[in-house]
Structure 1
Amino acid sequence: TIGFFYLHEAELFMSKVASHIQRYCALHNYNLKIVSFDLDYYNNINLHQEFTKRNLKGAMLVAVNTEGCRKSFHALEESGFPHVRFGNAMFQDELSAPLVRGDDAGKTRMVIDYLRRKGHSRIGLAYFERGSDVEQEYLNFYDKNGCHKEEWLMRVRFSGPPEKWTGFPEPGMAADYIERNPDITAVIVENGSVCAELMQHASRAGKSLPRDLSFVCLADWPGLNVMVPPVTAIKVPGEAMAERACQILFDIMENNASHSKRVDALPYELIERDSVFTLGL
């Protein structure tokens, strides 16, 4: 039996990934145990003991940005239990276990290049984590291609599922962002709910979408395809990531192979809809 452990807030995406993992495991005569956990899960658990109790032979785990997670992952590596990190790069410089993830820097470059081809040069960014690949790629672009304004960036830490979305962490963030950035022509948004909120406030402010303000979301969250206008978004390579993680884990389990420090960053796909206006037409 293999274990797949992920944060409950990521259920929208990870449940689909889990189905791909389950299918691949079944083809290779493995069962899959799926565990959806809360943010503090890693704080008070010995992962090796937990896996032994569950009779697991290997595991795929999604990290979260907590000290408990850091300590748990270090301890798991020291135990030698076969595992693959999945989905994000938390503590990447500290850990040796193989990591399968999407190419976040690559998807950000792809979206910026796409917007540039559409004539956009004043591009905003609403994102999660300071220092992330998304932020760094955005800043790198403007370092090479002209200055951005600090107010073009908005960090929104909320990343829960849409059914829990009640607005930005600070009331008025969306309206303030639209009001203080009349010069931007497009916004890259990391979270689907944030994208919806920004679009609503832009419309209320009298902007015609996408003619006055274009949007691209860095993940194809449910509902973006039925918004007005339907939102151009990035498709997570969930099936390819699931297959790659299984291949690596099975190789470790069956052949005692070493994949130390291996990082597989798989490419995303742009889904073009109607939320980006071509300037100059």
Structure 2
Amino acid sequence: MQKKRSITIKDVAAEAGVSFQTVSRVINDGPNVTPAMRERVMTAVTRLGYVPSLAARRLGGSRSYLVLAFNDRRPTLEGWQSRRGNDWVDQMLYGGMLKCAEHGYRMLFELVDSHSDEWEAQVQAAISALHPDGVILTPPHSDDTRITELLHRNGLTFARLGSHREGEGFAVYMDDEAAARTATEYLLDLGHSRIAYVEGHPEYAISGDRLRGFRGAIEGRGLAVRPEYLQPGDFTYEAGTRAMAALAALDTPPTAVLASSDEVALGVLHAAAPLGLSVPRDLSVVSFDDTPTMRMSVPSLTAIRQPIAAMTARAAELLIEAKARNLEGTGLHLLPFDFVVRDSTAPPR
């Protein structure tokens, strides 16, 4: 059977009796197109069932119709290689890809290792090959001035997820300090006074924000933050299991734990039972992020819901608008968080 030939922009031009450059201007909402000409071309597009390719759309102007997202290479690959996956990445792609599609854009995803000597070559190779209309940076890249300066030198507009730092780019974030304070105050209101915190990765600016929120809530009730209740972490499951083992071994263990991420919370939860601790009877656990896995854990985890998909969607929207209207790519864009109470928290015994 002979393969059906794809309809091209030249077919549309022939059908409408115009040049293919005119067709390109119409499908790209370009200038110098009369309403009658637009209707004539779009009638041909509909009749032929033409779907514009990225190559065809690029003919009409300076837009590539691509948004490029850079994510941290090491933790992303570790999640995939361990077969645990990465719910944060899933939510980021979900929000960004759908929003891009609404505007006729495509979102591509690249991994960058900022610890590698090749980080600059990795970033430059990607943007040189793809010529994106905008770039989305996720933590910790969103606060890495080396990367933002490289993008600026290349004349690219970019958005920084999870960053509220002033400077170049759209900062799209939630108030992590307020979120940690809200979660800690909830535990305090339940009657807990021995509350531990498993910290995030020290290279992420949001880790410091969350720690300040935790401290502020504890000290705001006239209590002292006990150093042994602050456990180092890096957002991983293993950090949660290590922290739980260390906390359970204390002479006065905590009755509640605030975890800096969902994976950390799962590590705490899974390590508790072998140590003879029942959640929430003996230990309350609160998580950060609230990716879909949290509601399926046993017990389901109380969590701060970070608007990951909404932040990425907003970032994509800002980049597309900036490119279309030739706007300056700066400004702070704060999105709200939610606090979801489930079965992993209860008053202390």
User: Is the TM-score greater than 0.5?
Assistant: yes
Q: How many residues in Structure 1 have an aligned counterpart in Structure 2?
A: 268
Determine what percentage of the aligned residue pairs are the same residue. Answer: 22
Asked whether the 8 Å contact 1:216–1:275 carries over to 2, the reply is yes
Question: Equivalent residues in 2 for 1:138-157 (5 A)?
Answer: 138-145=214-221, 146-157=223-234
Per the alignment, residue 196 of structure 2 pairs with 124
Question: Equivalent residues in 2 for 1:84-163 (5 A)?
Answer: 84-88=159-163, 92=165, 95-130=167-202, 132-145=208-221, 146-157=223-234, 159=235
Per the alignment, residue 30 of structure 1 pairs with 105
2:244 to 153, 174, 178: 174
CA offset digits 1:136-175 (Å, max 9, x no partner): 1112223332212111110112x35xxxx5x349x95431
| CA distance 1:243–1:128, change in 2 (3 Å) | same
Structure 2, unaligned stretches of length 5 or more?
1-65, 77-85
Per the alignment, residue 187 of structure 1 pairs with 257
Report the residue type matching 2:148 in the other structure: F
Structure 1, unaligned stretches of length 5 or more?
none
TM-score w.r.t. length of structure 1: 0.82
| CA distance 1:194–1:28, change in 2 (3 Å) | closer
Alpha-carbon distance in structure 2 between the residues aligned to 1:202 and 1:243? 37
Q: What RMSD, in angstroms, separates the aligned Cα atoms of the two structures?
A: 2.9
Matched, 1:20 2:107: no
Q: Which has the higher contact order (CA 8 A, sep 6+)?
A: 1
1:114 shift after superposition = 1.8
Alpha-carbon distance in structure 2 between the residues aligned to 1:200 and 1:48? 42
Larger radius of gyration: 2
1:249 shift after superposition = 1.0
CA offset digits 1:65-90 (Å, max 9, x no partner): 699x532222222333111122346x
TM-score w.r.t. length of structure 2: 0.67
1:59 shift after superposition = 1.6
Matched, 1:271 2:271: no
Asked whether the 8 Å contact 1:48–1:81 carries over to 2, the reply is no
Per the alignment, residue 202 of structure 1 pairs with 272
Matched, 1:236 2:306: yes
Alpha-carbon distance in structure 2 between the residues aligned to 1:186 and 1:53? 49
Asked whether the 8 Å contact 2:191–2:348 carries over to 1, the reply is yes
Alpha-carbon distance in structure 1 between the residues aligned to 2:309 and 2:243? 35
Alpha-carbon distance in structure 2 between the residues aligned to 1:251 and 1:48? 24
Report the residue type matching 1:118 in the other structure: L
Per the alignment, residue 3 of structure 1 pairs with 68
2:129 to 53, 68, 81: 53
CA offset digits 1:85-111 (Å, max 9, x no partner): 22346xx35x42111123211211221
Asked whether the 8 Å contact 1:122–1:148 carries over to 2, the reply is no
Asked whether the 8 Å contact 2:113–2:119 carries over to 1, the reply is no
Alpha-carbon distance in structure 2 between the residues aligned to 1:273 and 1:46? 42
